[in-house]
Amino acid sequence: MEIREDRLNELLGKVVNELGAAVTGLHVSIGDKLGLYKALGANGGMTSQQLAGVTGTSERLVREWLAAQAATGYIEYAAEDETFSLTPEQHAVFADEASSVLMTGGFYGLGAIYGSEEALIDAFRGGGGVGWGDHASCCFAGTEKFFKPLYRTNLVDEWLPALDSVVDKLKAGGAVADVGCGHGVSTTLMAEAFPATQFFGFDFHAPSVERARKLAAEAGVNNVTFEVATAKEFPGNGYDLVTMFDCLHDMGDPVGALGHVSETMSADGTLMVVEPAAGRSLSENLHPIGRVYYAYSTALCVPSSLDQEVGLALGAQAGEARLRDVVTGGGFSQFRVAVETPFNMVIEARL
């Protein structure tokens, strides 16, 4: 087999870039947790000595971290005075907790993924799946931190208003079940926005439910309750709205889960499912966003589903047509994509 030098060099360049990226992900998490990005953003151009002094960190390690970040293009370096800084765009992505494009949370769970390598290898060899709760806790913290800016920006102002008559019901007072709520970011955001409605968050992962309760208490929200329960067995009935945020594809039996949802809803209730955006075929998903979704799906989503009963393993790139089959298979007769973004699709379904 003849090797073409131009293709080889292109591939090697890509691999070298990926090696740097794989380690830089850890650097982002460290920089966020130590407040390095925030300090740079608040103080403008800083030397490594100044940044270390402000953050109470080791100057020598901070100096190397800064060099790696500058080489990556995540921060700026001014050679004339050996200072480092953030552009407004870099500040929005790495330092601003109120930013809709804050991305640091996406790097938090990498340690959990790498730490689960042996379990994933066993799963690949036919050993079943890897349970959500079997990953390190940084996986759950990362999920919370990554999705919070997205939900905070879009959920109340964009996604819920795109659903037919739902906002009016929530303003008047009703009942909402947030299934697969995780740390309850979505549940608490809705509860804050609609104090007349009672919200119930359900998740099968007990530590996540405990975290959800803590966050809601810190926010002073008293119209929300969290309980450990699976998607096929959560209690209650007559819900005006049932939501599933980025979790349906992780379920072992999503059709069965939706069947239970359909039994708990009011006759004129609404199902809202938020799932990753995806094309109709693999070819349509071969781009940077699809790459991220497939990567996380291989390490987290599909193994989680395979660890559960049925193990349908939809994956994070199931796409509209496959999701339509699952939702209608769960007993819903009406299905539409209410909102589409480069990252998500918001599905509205009714009985």
Confidence at residue 127, expressed as pLDDT on a 0 to 100 scale: 80
Q: Of 72, 96, 120, which marks where a domain is finished? A: 96
Q: Is residue 224 part of a domain?
A: yes
Q: 339 and 268, same structural domain? A: yes
Q: 296 and 242, same structural domain? A: yes
Q: Is residue 292 part of a domain?
A: yes
Q: Is residue 104 part of a domain?
A: no
Q: CA-CA distances (angstroms) from residue 43 to 40, 80, 198, 338, 344?
A: 5, 18, 43, 42, 35
Q: 82 and 15, same structural domain? A: yes
Q: Of 96, 123, 147, which marks where a domain is finished? A: 96
Q: CA-CA distances (angstroms) from residue 268 to 42, 67, 91, 264?
A: 50, 58, 44, 12
User: What are residue 204's DSSP bridge partners?
Assistant: none
> In whole angstroms, what is the distance from residue 47 CA to residue 312 CA?
52
Confidence at residue 159, expressed as pLDDT on a 0 to 100 scale: 98
Q: Which candidate, 322, 227, 242, 234, places its Cα nearest to that of 282?
A: 322
Q: 116 and 82, same structural domain? A: no
Confidence at residue 297, expressed as pLDDT on a 0 to 100 scale: 97
Q: Is residue 106 part of a domain?
A: no
Q: Of 96, 126, 157, which marks where a domain is finished? A: 96
Tell me how many domains the chain contains: 2
Q: 243 and 120, same structural domain? A: yes
Q: Is residue 318 part of a domain?
A: yes
Q: Is residue 102 part of a domain?
A: no
Q: Is residue 258 part of a domain?
A: yes
Confidence at residue 8, expressed as pLDDT on a 0 to 100 scale: 96
Asked whether the beta carbons of 85 and 121 are under 8 A apart, the reply is no
Q: Is residue 103 part of a domain?
A: no
Helix (H, G, I), strand (E, B) or coil at 179: strand
Q: What's the CATH code of the domain at 47? A: 1.10.10.10
Q: 132 and 80, same structural domain? A: no
Q: Which candidate, 39, 149, 129, places its Cα nearest to that of 91?
A: 39
Q: Which candidate, 306, 229, 320, places its Cα nearest to that of 275?
A: 320
Q: What's the CATH code of the domain at 346? A: 3.40.50.150
Q: 172 and 282, same structural domain? A: yes
Per the structure block, which two tokens stand in for 287? 């781009």
Q: 228 and 148, same structural domain? A: yes
Q: 203 and 62, same structural domain? A: no
Asked whether the beta carbons of 268 and 308 are under 8 A apart, the reply is no
Q: 173 and 305, same structural domain? A: yes
Q: 152 and 80, same structural domain? A: no
Asked whether the beta carbons of 83 and 4 are under 8 A apart, the reply is no
Q: Which helix (H) or strand (E) holds 169?
A: helix 166-172
Per-position pLDDT tens, the chain of length 351: 899 999 999 999 999 999 999 999 999 999 999 999 999 999 989 999 999 999 999 999 999 999 999 999 999 999 999 999 999 999 999 999 999 999 999 999 899 999 999 999 999 999 899 999 999 999 999 999 999 999 999 999 999 999 999 999 999 999 999 999 999 999 999 999 999 999 999 999 999 999 999 999 999 999 999 999 999 999 999 999 999 999 999 999 999 999 999 999 999 999 999 999 999 999 999 999 999 999 999 999 999 999 999 999 999 999 999 999 999 999 999 999 999 999 999 999 999
DSSP E strand stretches across 204-333: 224-228, 239-245, 265-276
Q: 160 and 136, same structural domain? A: yes
**Host domain of residue 78:** 5-96
- pTM, whole model, 2 decimals? 0.92
